[in-house]
Chains A and B, each alone.
Chain A
C-alpha cells in the first residue's frame, strides 16, 4: 500500500477537516485519531482484495463530508483552553478563593449565630459562580461556558460589587441654598427603619440572585462526578470556614451560661472565667454585661446583656 499521506484525495479531505475544526480543542489530536482509523480501514479493505483507490474512496465515504464531521465534533468536543490559559485561569481561581476567604474573615466576626452562618453562605454564594467559571477543569453542557467571557464578566461584576459602588446608608437629609439661617432649618432625622428595609431588600435580592446562579451552574455541569465533587468541596469549605467561628461562639456561650446559671452573685463566678472575659455588673447589680474579645478576630468582641438576654457583636 502506498503512503496515504501523499494521496491527494485523502490529503484534501484532512486539510478541509483541519480548516473546519478551527479553534476546537486539540484539532491536531482529532486529525491524528481520524487519520489513524482511516488508514486502518483502508488497510483492511485492501487486505480483503479491494483496490487501493477504491478502498480510499470507500473509507472517505464512511467519514462523510469533512465540514459536517467537523461541525458535529465541535458540538461534542469540550473546547478546553491551551496550557498557558489553563495555568492562568487556575492561578486566577486561587486568587479569587483567597480573596473570598479574606472577605469572609473580615465580615464574619461582625456577626453572631445564625446571622454569622448567613454571612458565610452569602460570601460563598457571591464568589462561587466566578470560581466555577474560572476553573478550567470543569466540563460544561454548553460550549460557550468554557470561554473566558462569562468568567471575565463575573470577575468584573465581583470587583465592582466588592468595591461597594454607591453607599446605601447615606442620603441627603436637606440641601441648603444660599446663606440659610441654620437655626431656622427644621431638624430632619433620616428614617432608619426605611434604611433597614432597603438594606434587607438588597440583601435578599442578592442572596436569591447569586443563589440561583450557583444552582444553575451546578446543573450546567456535564459530568455528575464533577458536580458531586464541586458540591462536596463547597460543603467542606463552608464547614471549615465556619467551624472556627462556631467554636469561638460556643466558648463564649459556655462562659455566659456559667454566669447566668449562678443563683448567687455572678461576680465570683466571673472571676473563675478567663481574663479574656470582661464582666461589668449593672447599677442595680441584678444584671450584668459580659464581653469577650474574639480570639480569631481581636478587633471584635462578643457581648451579652443579661437584662434583655441579648447577644451582639461590637468592633
Chain B
C-alpha cells in the first residue's frame, strides 16, 4: 500500500535527529546522506537536495557537525560531514527525548483506543 508522505511539521521536528544519527554512524557527504535517508526508514523519510544544505549548514553553525574536503580513491573531491563531540552529546539527548515522546504518544493512543472500544 502506498503511503502518503509525512507532514512537513513532523519531518521538520525530526530532521535534525535523523541527520545527527546518520552522521553518528559514519561520516558522509551530502548526496550520500540523501541516498541513505531514502534507503532507510522504508523510504518514507525523503528530503530534497535543496533542503539538505541549509540543514547541514545550520548543524555546522551549532557546532554539532564538522566538515572536511576529502578526495576518494575513485571520484571527485567531496565535502564530508561528521559528528563533533558536542554533536554526539546532542544526538544522544535528542534520541532520549524522542523515545520519551513517542512512548508518551503511543500510550495516549493506546488508552484512547481502549476507551473507544469500551
Measured CB to CB, the residues of A under 8 A from B are 29-30, 32-34, 36-41, 44, 59, 62-65, 68-69, 72-73, 75-78, 139, 222-226
Do B50 and A62 have beta carbons less than 8 Å apart? yes
A68→B30 CA distance, assembly (Å): 18
Q: Which residue from chain A places its CB closest to the CB of B35 in the assembled complex?
A: A44
Chain B residues closer than 8 Å to A30, beta-carbon distance:
53
A166→B3 CA distance, assembly (Å): 74
A62→B53 CA distance, assembly (Å): 12
With A78-B61, A222-B63 in contact, do A36 and B29 touch (Cβ < 8 Å)? yes
Pick from A32, A76, A139 the residue with the most CB of B within 10 Å: A76
**Does B86 count as interface, using CB distance less than 8 angstroms?**
yes
Q: Distance (Å) between the CB of A102 and the closest chain B CB? A: 34
Q: How many residues of B contact A (CB 8 A)?
A: 23
B68-101: which have CB < 8 Å to A?
A: 76-79, 86
Q: Which of B49, B55, B78 contacts A62 (CB 8 A)?
A: B49
Q: Distance (Å) between the CB of A74 and the closest chain B CB? A: 9
Chain A residues closer than 8 Å to B49, beta-carbon distance:
34, 37-38, 41, 59, 62-63
Chain A residues closer than 8 Å to B6, beta-carbon distance:
none
With A62-B49, A76-B54, A76-B57 in contact, do A36 and B62 touch (Cβ < 8 Å)? no
Chain A residues closer than 8 Å to B61, beta-carbon distance:
76-78, 139, 222-223
Which 4 residue pairs of A and B lie closest in terms of their CB atoms, listed nearest first? A64-B50, A223-B63, A37-B31, A76-B57
Knowing that A75-B54, A76-B54, A222-B61 touch, tell me 12 more A-B residue pairs with CB under 8 angstroms.
Answer: A33-B79, A36-B77, A37-B34, A41-B34, A65-B50, A68-B50, A73-B53, A73-B54, A222-B62, A224-B63, A225-B63, A225-B86
With A76-B61, A139-B61, A222-B63 in contact, do A40 and B50 touch (Cβ < 8 Å)? no
Query: 24 A-B residue contacts at CB 8 Å?
Result: A29-B79, A30-B53, A33-B78, A33-B79, A34-B30, A36-B29, A36-B76, A36-B77, A37-B30, A37-B31, A37-B34, A39-B76, A40-B31, A64-B51, A72-B50, A73-B53, A73-B57, A76-B57, A222-B61, A222-B63, A223-B62, A224-B86, A225-B63, A225-B86
Chain B residues closer than 8 Å to A59, beta-carbon distance:
49
Chain B residues closer than 8 Å to A39, beta-carbon distance:
76
Do A64 and B48 have beta carbons less than 8 Å apart? yes
Chain A residues closer than 8 Å to B29, beta-carbon distance:
36-37
Chain B residues closer than 8 Å to A224, beta-carbon distance:
63, 86
A180→B55 CA distance, assembly (Å): 79
Q: Distance (Å) between the CB of B76 and the closest chain A CB? A: 5
Pick from B50, B63, B86 the residue with the most CB of A within 10 Å: B50
Q: Which residue from chain A places its CB closest to the CB of B90 in the assembled complex?
A: A224
